[in-house]
Amino acid sequence: MTTIIDGKAVAAEIRADLAASIETLADADVTPGLATVLMSDDGASETYVSMKQRACEEVGINGIHIEIDPEAPAEELYATIDDLNADPEVHGILVQLPVPDHVDKREVIRRIDPAKDVDGFHPENIGRLVAGDPLFKPCTPHGVQKLLEATDVDPEGKDVVIVGRSDIVGKPLANLLIQKTDGGNATVTVCHSRTADLAAKTKQADIVIAAVGVPELIDGSMLKEGVTVIDVGVNRVDADTEKGYKLVGDVEFESAKEKAAAITPVPGGVGPMTIAMLLYNTVKSASLDADVAVDLP
Ligand code: NDP
């Protein structure tokens, strides 16, 4: 029997635990605050930001949302970040990526105060992660780690193949899973578009994590029996639905399910975890800022 890993349920548990931590903070007159900044009129980015804001509201985090005209000069975004860095009510700052071409993405990431960098993308936070002393783990990789834990799949001693080497998923995830700590101790191979014979790599893996952005790239024939499959991919493909499309992952679910002991669906797998871990980082940031101890899930 294949376990379908229910990311929505795991995320809901984490959110419930966070709500308890937020009450502890409220007793000390602290309300965590998360600022989201959107400089884009891309529909998917708008949807992601509104999902994050709604999640804040549900759990008791003060959500602040700022929209900047995508045509505005880059300096307007930089000045907004400076203001948010200085605002004591803001504990987390999230600039929704991608930003327009005339904005320097690296400058955006570097400009956010590392103590408010709840995405975990600032070089200081990446450095801490690599050094095994993370402050804020990037949300999607952290969500994947939590999903494995919730499924009782311990990466220790396992062969893990991550397909994708992006700065936001593949690279930080590889770093998390090789750490000499609980939830780590895996032997990790990172594959990408120049990998020779991807199937040979995925076929020997105990855990396959796909973060590629290519619909259904990995199918059952590329997996070994009993594998755990975590599908980070979210891809829109044309379909005869009301919206004219449907969402599929980077893994061909039906054939992969035949081989897997456990597998995440898309949607309803990693996606809800990314948002839950963003809330987690915001609560952690508020707790550190106010010096009020909370139990984090
Ligand atoms: P990027 O486009 O930044 O990175 C994609 C990676 O996949 C690159 O390393 C690329 O290789 C590699 N790749 C592309 N084609 C192939 C191929 N044919 N074979 C092997 N490797 C390949 O993507 P992201 O990491 O930002 O996102 C990946 C997916 O995850 C997307 O579908 C995105 O929507 C989704 N996502 C989902 C989230 C969630 O919360 N569920 C959060 C973040 C992302 P190279 O480096 O050589 O170009």
* Residue-range domain boundaries for the chain: 29-114, 139-272
29, 165 in Cβ contact below 8 A?
Answer: no
Q: Which residue has the tokens 């599908």?
A: 231
User: What is the separation of C-alpha 186 from the centre of its chain, rounded to a whole number of angstroms?
Assistant: 19
Of ligand 1's atoms, which has the minimum distance to the CA of residue 275? Answer: 40
Of ligand 1's atoms, which has the minimum distance to the CA of residue 194? Answer: 47
Segment 63-73, tens digit of pLDDT = 999 999 999 99
In CATH terms, is domain 139-272 a member of 3.30.450.40? no
Q: Residues lining ligand 1, judged by CB closer than 6 Å?
A: 140, 163-166, 168-170, 191-195, 198, 211-214, 217, 232-235, 270-271, 274
Residue 195's CB is within 10 A of a number of other CB atoms, namely 15
Q: Which residue has the tokens 């600032």?
A: 122
What phi, psi does 133 have (nearest 5°)?
A: -135, 60
Segment 158-204, tens digit of pLDDT = 999 999 999 999 999 999 999 999 999 999 999 999 999 999 999 99
What does each of the 297 residues of the chain score in pLDDT, given as a tens digit? 899 999 999 999 999 999 999 999 999 999 999 999 999 999 989 999 999 999 999 999 999 999 999 999 999 999 999 999 999 999 999 999 999 999 999 999 999 999 999 999 999 999 999 999 999 999 999 999 999 999 999 999 999 999 999 999 999 999 999 999 999 999 999 999 999 999 999 999 999 999 999 999 999 999 999 999 999 999 999 999 999 999 999 999 999 999 999 999 999 999 999 999 999 999 999 999 999 999 999
The catalytic site residues sit at: 52, 96, 119
How far away, in angstroms, is 166 Cα from ligand 1 center? 6
Q: Rg (Cα) of the chain, in Å, rounded?
A: 19
SS3 (DSSP) at 64? strand
Fold (topology level) of 29-114: Rossmann fold (3.40.50)
* 55/166 Cα distance (integer angstroms): 25
